[in-house]
A and B are shown apart, each in its own frame.
Chain A
Amino acid sequence: MTADLTELFEQYYGSLVRMLYRRTGDRDRAEDLAQETFARAVAAPPNNPRPWLFAVALNLVREDGRRAVRQGRRLELLRTDERPEQGPENDYERNERSTAVRAALAMLNERDREALLLKAEGFNYEEIAATLGLSKGAVGTTLARARRRLVEAYQSEGRGKNVAS
């Protein structure tokens, strides 16, 4: 049992944290949620671990999503005071880009976003279907929509910014 869990941890912890980080934008929170997910795996060892772990993690994200959104917004307000002069330039650019990607990601609906993040962790369609409770046939359509919307949202955001500045 312990060995099984350790193996799960070994295999999926990194992937899970990365997915959660992409989803939440907060590394500490991502790690907390991953810990919580594994804690639940201890309580109820899953049969099909990868979809199970990621489904639980995504549920946890949704559960305390509202609180996080509130905090995130406040922090964003604080952040708008920031002047770009501090920090190395490339850091700033990288932040800028990932902020833009995150904003684009936030414009997708929950299912599309989750499908994208799972695909990025190497999930195949069957696993995505199992994790999100979709039929396997619907995954292609979901991903098609998600990818298109993400790219379009990202591009339109870039245009908006150029117009504004």
Chain B
Amino acid sequence: MSHLDEGTLHALLDGELDVTEAREVQSHLGTCVACGSRLQEVKQFLAEADRLVGALEMPAGAAASPPRPPRQSAPPSRRQLHEPETWEEAPVLLVLDNAEALARRRRWFRALGWAAMIAVVIGGGRALLNVVGQHGSLPPAHDITMAARSGPQAVASPQETAGPEQSANQAPTAPVRTLAKTRPSAPKTTPQPKAAAVTPLVDSAREPADTAADEFADSAQPDTETLAAAGATAESVSTDSVARDTQAKDTARPEDDLATRRAAAQALAELDRQRRRERAAAATAALQPAAPARADAPAATEPPPPRTPEQRSQVYLRIGLDEAAKQLGSPVHVIEGMTPELIGLTYGRLVAGADPNRPVVRVVYVDSRGRMILLDQQRLRTGQAPSAGEGSLRWSVGDVMLYLRGEAGPDVLRSLQRRVR
């Protein structure tokens, strides 16, 4: 086999090679030092690139979003299934980098043996319920170490992991047996043991021991608890009622989903309506300055907490610098040393002293303490006298009236006024 190309190494690390490909690649890596060291390099690039892209998170508070109920109302289990918040489940593979790492990993797997055994036993125990339910007795036990120690094997293929019954047979712990006798069937048995058996391989391939052990314990824990609880009740409760319980749970879930979906549908529709209103208001603002303030409409139907900067600053339309300059007839004025949160148009009647029949260009700032500072600007009509007073926060530059207002005190505003350019 010739040397591996970089794309293949990435595909390997991303878990995108099929079992036979992965085997070939790994056997090559076992013998080729050059490719082994390139794999190390590729790993670093991959991790660093993931980190960099991950660093591009949306600012949490700076620009509050419009209401997004689906994000909040979606049940967590669904979200984990379909839209991973963190990176997707790590790929199934174990890369043989070098002999030392392999030995380290072997030691580690031995240490993990007990945890792995519990997980396999629990997962397998569930699957065992099926077998026992059908045959009415426990099959004979086999060698237990195989399943628990299957770690250092190069790749956990579906075939290898898909047979939970076999590993389940090795289960020596009491709870599983009692459960197995009392519960006739348990739905969704296979995914659980699969995941449990596969996870440690994955993590050991990516990073050293600790996190994998934790994760392992985490994934095992809830199952142990539920099984233990089920085991406790199973003694007194008949098998029928247990079955009915699980059924009841299964039927309850779709209703929740339905409610969530309805809520999301409403939220989406409301969001659409709001956007439409905004656009309509923006389109008609120039023609009908006396139109009712858009801010009133959504406020009536929508709870206000996640207000957008536009709503907070009463800007009905965001505009760019060129549009602002067009409105003013000269470049927009800004406060030196501050970054505007947004530039937009607001109604003239909302700005004391401005012409109520024309829009006002509003540059919105948020200072370091989160206070909103508004620098309003409106071009003077021909013949309109600037109504400015010395030392006031309303003044004119050329034929543009400037109004500085905000949630900060007058002293702060005056100091900012000196920085307006």
Q: A144-B9, A151-B49 are in contact. Are A14 and B55 (CB under 8 A)?
A: no
The reply to whether B52 and A151 contact each other, CB–CB distance below 8 Å, is yes
The reply to whether A78 and B48 contact each other, CB–CB distance below 8 Å, is no
Which of B170-178, B220-228, B245-253, B259-267 is found at the contact surface with chain A?
B259-267
- Within 1-35 of A, Cβ neighbours of B (below 8 Å) are at 2-3, 5-7, 9-15, 17-18, 21-22, 27-28, 30-32, 35
Query: Least Cβ distance of A139 to chain B in Å?
Result: 8
Interface residue? B6 (CB, 8 A): yes
The reply to whether A143 and B53 contact each other, CB–CB distance below 8 Å, is no
The reply to whether B340 and A125 contact each other, CB–CB distance below 8 Å, is no
Interface residue? B70 (CB, 8 A): yes
The reply to whether B50 and A120 contact each other, CB–CB distance below 8 Å, is yes
| 1/0 contact string of A127-154 vs chain B (CB within 8 Å) | 0000000000011111111111011001
Interface residue? A156 (CB, 8 A): no
Chain B residue at minimal CB-CB distance from A152: B45
Contacts of B340 in A (CB 8 A): 78
Contacts of A150 in B (CB 8 A): 49, 52-53
Contacts of A7 in B (CB 8 A): 261
The reply to whether A79 and B7 contact each other, CB–CB distance below 8 Å, is no
Query: Least Cβ distance of A16 to chain B in Å?
Result: 9
| 1/0 contact string of A91-133 vs chain B (CB within 8 Å) | 0000001100110110000000000110111101100000000
The reply to whether B65 and A27 contact each other, CB–CB distance below 8 Å, is yes
Query: Least Cβ distance of A87 to chain B in Å?
Result: 5
The reply to whether A141 and B56 contact each other, CB–CB distance below 8 Å, is no
The reply to whether B56 and A102 contact each other, CB–CB distance below 8 Å, is yes
Query: Least Cβ distance of B282 to chain A in Å?
Result: 13
* A129 vs B384: C-alpha distance when bound (angstroms): 62
The reply to whether B82 and A11 contact each other, CB–CB distance below 8 Å, is yes
Q: A101-B52, A116-B53 are in contact. Are A147 and B10 (CB under 8 A)?
A: yes
The reply to whether B55 and A97 contact each other, CB–CB distance below 8 Å, is yes
Contacts of B87 in A (CB 8 A): 120, 122
Which of B117-125, B138-146, B318-326 is found at the contact surface with chain A?
B318-326
One of A11, A22, A143 near B10 (C-beta < 8 A)? A143
The reply to whether A101 and B53 contact each other, CB–CB distance below 8 Å, is yes
The reply to whether B49 and A35 contact each other, CB–CB distance below 8 Å, is no
Q: Which of A27, A138, A139, A146 has the most CB of B within 10 A?
A: A27
Interface residue? A81 (CB, 8 A): yes
* A68 vs B410: C-alpha distance when bound (angstroms): 36
Task: Indicate the size class of the contact surface on chain A.
Answer: 35 or more
Interface residue? A83 (CB, 8 A): yes
One of A78, A97, A144 near B6 (C-beta < 8 A)? A144
Interface residue? B338 (CB, 8 A): yes
The reply to whether A81 and B52 contact each other, CB–CB distance below 8 Å, is no
Contacts of A28 in B (CB 8 A): 63, 308, 318
The reply to whether B339 and A79 contact each other, CB–CB distance below 8 Å, is yes
Contacts of B268 in A (CB 8 A): 5-6, 9, 38
The reply to whether B11 and A140 contact each other, CB–CB distance below 8 Å, is yes
Query: Least Cβ distance of B45 to chain A in Å?
Result: 5
* A56 vs B63: C-alpha distance when bound (angstroms): 25
One of B42, B49, B57, B78 near A10 (C-beta < 8 A)? B78
Chain B residue at minimal CB-CB distance from A77: B321
Contacts of A164 in B (CB 8 A): none
* A140 vs B321: C-alpha distance when bound (angstroms): 42
The reply to whether B7 and A98 contact each other, CB–CB distance below 8 Å, is no
Known: A121-B84, A151-B48. 10 other contacts (CB 8 A): A2-B265, A18-B58, A21-B56, A27-B58, A28-B318, A88-B368, A125-B16, A138-B7, A139-B7, A144-B10
Which B residues have a C-beta under 8 Å from some C-beta of A?
Answer: 5-11, 14, 16, 42, 45-46, 48-50, 52-59, 63, 65-66, 68, 70-71, 74, 78-79, 82-84, 87-88, 258, 260-262, 264-265, 268, 271-272, 275, 308, 318, 320-322, 334, 336-340, 367-368
5 CB < 8 A contacts A-B: A39-B272, A74-B322, A104-B52, A119-B14, A140-B16
Which A residues have a C-beta under 8 Å from some C-beta of B?
Answer: 2-3, 5-7, 9-15, 17-18, 21-22, 27-28, 30-32, 35, 38-39, 71, 74-75, 78-79, 81-83, 85-88, 97-98, 101-102, 104-105, 116-117, 119-122, 124-125, 138-148, 150-151, 154
